[in-house]
Structure 1
Amino acid sequence: MFGIGGGELIFIMFIVLMLFGSDKIPEIARTMGKAMAQLKNATNDIKSEIQKGADNSGFDAKTLGDLRVNLTSEVTKMKENLLGDTSQFHDMAGNITSEINKAKDNMLGDVNASVESTKEIIDDIPGPIKRQM
Structure 2
Amino acid sequence: MEITHLNPETLHSNPAFSQGVLVTGAHRTLHVGGQNGTDPSGAIVPGGLGPQTEQAIRNVLTVLAEAGADQSNVVRLAVYLAAGQSVDEGYAASARVWGPYPTALTVLIVAALGRPDALVELEATAVIE
TM-score w.r.t. length of structure 2:
0.18
Highest RCO, 1 vs 2 (Cα 8 Å, sep ≥ 6): 2
Higher Cα Rg, which structure: 1
Higher strand content, 1 or 2: 2
